[in-house]
Amino acid sequence: MEPKVTVYSKPSCVQCTATYRALDAKGISYVSVDVTKAPAALEYISEELGYSQAPVVVDCTDEQNHWSGFRPDKIAGLS
């Protein structure tokens, strides 16, 4: 199954963990990218998208739909 979203995260991130749990609870598939190990991903979320807080969630079906932080309201809109 193709992932619905990409979650750009970092280790020991409370909001990242909450985001994973909310996605799992709703059955939304995702791929996780650790920005501390992927410099290109960090550049993408900070330079191109303008975020400085993890996690950054990008909808794979609509790349204009993205946000930063734990956003249960946005996650609810994905299903």
Q: What is the DSSP letter of 62?
A: -
Tokens of 62: 């609509």
57 strand-pairing partners: 7, 67
> What residue has token string 């930063």?
68
Q: Which CATH architecture has domain 5-76?
A: 3-Layer(aba) Sandwich (3.40)
- Residue whose tokens read 């996605």: 23
The residues spanned by each domain of the chain are 5-76
**Given a cut of 80, is residue 78 above it in pLDDT?**
yes
Rounded to whole angstroms, the Cα distance separating 40 from 19 reads 22
Average pLDDT over residues 28-46: 97
In this prediction, residue 63 has a pLDDT band, given cuts at 50, 70 and 90, of: confident
